[in-house]
Structure 1
């Protein structure tokens, strides 16, 4: 992850965002040396000219790739900002037309979720999702190009991106993370749910997008770090209540549940006595040095050298 410089600090590299919760793309400031965070700029991308907002200055060491990095062309003018709003107002009509053209073409196994114009209307991007990886949407693309007299790109997106576009509420009852603050999707695995002791039923770990919930990654590292300091389930330990067996681990409480005789107690980490480790150390101390009996041990010499005069 790129390091964002502190307020007041500047560099020759900036992070630009084209959507409210989009990824951060790196550009050179070029001749625009008076840029500040919050400015809107015009930059050249592989999708033509785009209008984006300067979010932060980026440390040169953290720039994605300095070689071939494009520079800001100019600051956006008030007219540019107005034109962007005008074209945004036409996106819904473009999406409806796209769906109509797809229906005419007999495409019923794809969902067209978003239409997005570039700030000057020279480029129209249609985001769609489908399970049919061999689906050909070039007919729809050509039809839209003829209707709107602009360059059209069909962009295949995944279920998480669809949920981000659609918005709505998650299973927790609050607005979805992806549509409120997440700018990027982190890799998520079933192991994260296991580490946190979450039920592996689909209803518990699956989001509205049909994929593993993004929130599984939020506390994963804390759980892993906390569990390293606590005994595992099934281990025998000493407690203020006597010797018992661990039946559950509570990482965020820094404690474990221990069965002692017929009772269950919650024991904090500082109260735990690691019986197995202590027994192992005791056995090692009683065994002594294996070379001592053979006369090849220099323990005595080391003790004499280390002894105070």
Structure 2
């Protein structure tokens, strides 16, 4: 019988629901198919019976429980991502693009590399994409993120002196109303 599993891919990231008939429990590492490709995530809560929910569409299924080889590949990909990050920074400097690289991630099967960056303006990165494709020889995604997402990825210390909430436990951001921004004396943009 299918059950509902909440899977998180980053320690403080958003969680997604998948269906499964596997014998898994909270804390298990699992392999799932996402829009980005194969990825490893962690089950963050106890499984619930799928029949309790009225879902409009079909949930993707958990492929399998992660084995030792999957975890090893995941760790190798993290090391590759650090090297790829440095290479991409050098290529960005060569092409004189006005963008600040934030993070780099590989999918589990290393068929795709995702670079996240911030920029104040729209960036024409066609030349950059060609150079990156010739170096990495896989699918490349360049994703522009905003300042809130940057804080979530990079981390830091908040006004209270503790690690940023978005980096430590907040899964999703709520919208910021104009009234909230005015109360905190923030720029209204």
1:112 counterpart residue number? 101
Alignment of 1:226-241 (within 5 A): none
Q: Residues 99-150 of structure 1: CA distance to partner in whole angstroms, max 9, x if unpaired?
A: 111122220x2111000112232221100111213x2223222322221222
Q: Residues 46-99 of structure 1: CA distance to partner in whole angstroms, max 9, x if unpaired?
A: 111111111123564557x55232111111111100110111012121111111
Distance 2:8 2:90 in 1: 31
1:49 counterpart residue number? 38
| Structure 1 residue 172 corresponds to structure 2 residue 156 | no
- Aligned partners of 1:11 and 1:58 also within 8 Å: no
Change (3 A) 1:77 1:128: same
Cα RMSD, aligned residues only: 2.5
- Unaligned stretches of 5+ in structure 1? 1-9, 213-309
Using the size of structure 2 for normalisation, the TM-score is 0.87
Q: Which of the residues 70, 75, 83 maps onto 1:85? A: 75
User: Residue 44 of structure 2: SS of its match in structure 1?
Assistant: strand
Change (3 A) 1:66 1:54: farther
Q: Which structure has the higher relative contact order (CA within 8 Å, separation 6+)?
A: 2
- Aligned partners of 2:11 and 2:168 also within 8 Å: no
2:24 counterpart residue number? 35
Q: CA deviation at 1:193?
A: 6.8
Distance 2:160 2:53 in 1: 36
Distance 2:133 2:175 in 1: 36
Distance 2:70 2:130 in 1: 28
- Look at both structures and tell me which one has the larger radius of gyration over its CA atoms: 1
Alignment of 1:62-211 (within 5 A): 65-107=55-97, 109-133=98-122, 135-192=123-180, 200-202=184-186
1:23 counterpart residue number? 14
- Unaligned stretches of 5+ in structure 2? none
Distance 2:185 2:148 in 1: 20
Distance 1:15 1:62 in 2: 14
Change (3 A) 1:162 1:58: farther
Change (3 A) 1:97 1:201: same
Query: How many residue pairs were aligned?
Result: 187
